[in-house]
A = this chain, B = another copy of it.
Amino acid sequence: MDLATVVGVALGFALVLTAILLGGDVVSYLNAPAVLIVVGGATAATMASQPLAKFLKFPRVIAKTLFAKTPEPAMVIKQIVALAEVARRDGILALEGMIGEMQDEFLVHGIQMAVDGTDPEVIQSVMETELENLLDRHEAGKGMLDALGMYAPAFGMIGTLVGLVAMLSNMDDPSKIGAGMAAALLTTLYGALLANIIFCPLADKLALRSAEEAFLKTIVIHGVMSIQSGDNPRTVESKLITFLPPAQRVALEEAKAA
């Protein structure tokens, strides 16, 4: 998880805590049953909406996607252009020896198919299927965060309704009405906090990470297809460089000059 997410989530909770401390004592805001109904209820509803195997596997998928370091697009392009140079100079078979040094499995798979002389249409279709299925798995992970972000406020409201009914059924002692209302509102507060500080931002983050990975893999697909078709390294580069924003193109040029 990069710094922004850690800092953002921590900052969100710190701000709410500050607001609470400025307004009174923290004790009125702590309520174990309220935590139970919001966290437990949202988890239960999300679990009910998922096949068991997926529900158990999701946390790992999410963690992996959030923590994984995505390489810089410019670095990936540099690497592909280097491969194109070798392929041009020593023939495409020479790339086989370089596979051991590559870290991106997706690139390895593509180059391997090119080296094996696989039909270009098959290479493209296999790589695109692989990318599509990866995105489907990310989408499923995002689906769980979206569900949590939707069910947390819903169970917050359910908890508040339960509390209101309890309070309204026992209004003999008017001095307790305020405390009863306050307790009832806590679940709504918890639901809103969980949804807006954790679940919804993480779901958005996951979607951006997934888009970044799709973007990188699209560059790799274009690169492998270009190498396979025997393009000269300069053509490969000029095809791939259009994926970069102008600023990064300059950075790439400078990296090359250095």
Contact mask for chain A residues 131-175; partner B; CB cutoff 8 A; 1 contact, 0 none: 001101100100100010011001101110111111111110001
Is A46 an interface residue, CB under 8 A from the partner?
Answer: yes
Structural contact, B208 and A4, CB atoms closer than 8 A: no
Contact mask for chain A residues 11-35; partner B; CB cutoff 8 A; 1 contact, 0 none: 1100110111011100011000100
Please give the count of copies of this chain that the complex contains. 5
Structural contact, B243 and A3, CB atoms closer than 8 A: no
Structural contact, A23 and B133, CB atoms closer than 8 A: no
Instruction: Tally chain A residues at the interface, Cβ within 8 Å.
Output: 97
A43 / chain B contacts, CB cutoff of 8 Å: 11
Structural contact, B161 and A11, CB atoms closer than 8 A: no
A15 to chain B, nearest CB (A): 5
Structural contact, B242 and A4, CB atoms closer than 8 A: no
A159 to chain B, nearest CB (A): 6
Is A117 an interface residue, CB under 8 A from the partner?
Answer: no
- Of residues 240 to 258 in A, which have CB atoms within 8 Å of B's CB atoms? 242-246
Structural contact, B51 and A8, CB atoms closer than 8 A: no
B47, B122, B158, B193: the one within 8 Å of A189 (CB) = B158
Contact mask for chain A residues 28-67; partner B; CB cutoff 8 A; 1 contact, 0 none: 1100010011001101111111111011000000000000
A150 / chain B contacts, CB cutoff of 8 Å: 200
A76 to chain B, nearest CB (A): 15
Q: What separation, in Å, do the CA atoms of A138 and B36 have in the docked complex?
A: 34
Structural contact, A178 and B168, CB atoms closer than 8 A: yes
Structural contact, A155 and B196, CB atoms closer than 8 A: yes
Q: What separation, in Å, do the CA atoms of A168 and B164 have in the docked complex?
A: 13
- Between A and B, 9 residue pairs with Cβ closer than 8 Å are A18-B33, A22-B33, A23-B162, A23-B166, A46-B201, A49-B201, A147-B204, A162-B189, A169-B179
A15 / chain B contacts, CB cutoff of 8 Å: 36-37, 40-41, 44
Structural contact, A182 and B201, CB atoms closer than 8 A: no
Q: Given that A48-B8, A158-B192 are known contacts, is A23 also in contact with B126, CB under 8 Å in the complex?
A: no
Q: Given that A24-B166, A24-B169, A161-B189 are known contacts, is A245 also in contact with B182, CB under 8 Å in the complex?
A: no
Structural contact, A161 and B188, CB atoms closer than 8 A: yes
Q: What separation, in Å, do the CA atoms of A170 and B29 have in the docked complex?
A: 13
Structural contact, A182 and B169, CB atoms closer than 8 A: yes
A237 to chain B, nearest CB (A): 12
